[in-house]
Chain A
Amino acid sequence: DIQMTQSPSSLSASVGDRVTITCRASQSISSYLNWYQQRPGKAPKLLVYATSTLQSGVPSRFSGSGSGTDFTLTISSLQPEDFATYHCQQSYSNSFTFGPGTKVDIK
């Protein structure tokens, strides 16, 4: 199985801050990396697929980059509605795995 790790596991930030979350795969997954946002008590929501393509309706302050084993999700200017947990997920193989999540909360 491909293992996914994320760092940090949590972070505190202020509205307007630039936030970067890192995701690492245990082997190369090319660009088959997706990001989801999950607000408390809600289902995950697709933000970015194929490393850097924003899902329809996702604000442009979100961006994704990377390839191979190392990937990042960046929020250029944190907004109040962005306080949530972010999960990465690989789809390189048909046995999908998620990262453990990064919780972004208010400083």
Chain B
Amino acid sequence: QLQLQESGPGLVKPSETLSLTCTVSGGSISTSDDYWGWVRQPPGKGLEWIGSAYYSGSTYYNPSLRSRVTISVDTSKNHFSLKLSSVTAADTAVYYCAKWYSSSVGKYFDYWGQGTLVTVSS
């Protein structure tokens, strides 16, 4: 059974860079139909897709965050990472890593990590 687990600091100072890693276990990150990405949820609010990456290096980002986001995949460690620069209090959220499966009938997030709360505060 595939499992995803987020890790990283729970507190980040304003203007700094938020860095999170998602470790994948129970399967390979190099599977052809799988993409790896991040979704966040501010307290009491809805879900926001941040971006996704393919093991080969292709990336897709939310246009509203593109200038500040980098997602990368490390196949040797079977994990992928998120960097979000110049954070503000508006970036405080639970951050989920998730696997996006690309099928003939569509794309969907079929596996999720448990989520990690990141607070932006001095």
Tell me the interface secondary structure of chain B in the complex.
strand
Output the least CB separation between A65 and chain B (Å): 15
Report the number of A-B residue pairs with Cβ-Cβ less than 8 Å: 66
Bound CA span A50–B63, Å: 24
Number of A residues near B (Cβ < 8 Å) is 25
Bound CA span A37–B114, Å: 14
Judge whether B106 and A91 touch: CB under 8 Å.
yes
Question: From B35, which residue of chain A is reached at the shortest CB distance?
Answer: A94
Judge whether A46 and B105 touch: CB under 8 Å.
no
Interface residues in B92-122 (C-beta closer than 8 Å to A): 96, 103, 105-110, 112-115
Judge whether B112 and A44 touch: CB under 8 Å.
yes
Output the least CB separation between B64 and chain A (Å): 8
Number of B residues near A (Cβ < 8 Å) is 22
Bound CA span A100–B106, Å: 21
A43-B114 contact, Cβ under 8 Å, with A31-B105, A95-B60: yes
- A71 on interface, CB distance cutoff 8 Å: no
Interface centre among A31, A87, A96 (most CB of B within 10 A): A96
Residues of B within 8 A of A (CB): 39, 46-49, 52, 60, 62-64, 96, 103, 105-110, 112-115
Residues of A within 8 A of B (CB): 1, 31-32, 34, 36, 42-46, 49-50, 53, 55, 87, 89, 91, 94-101
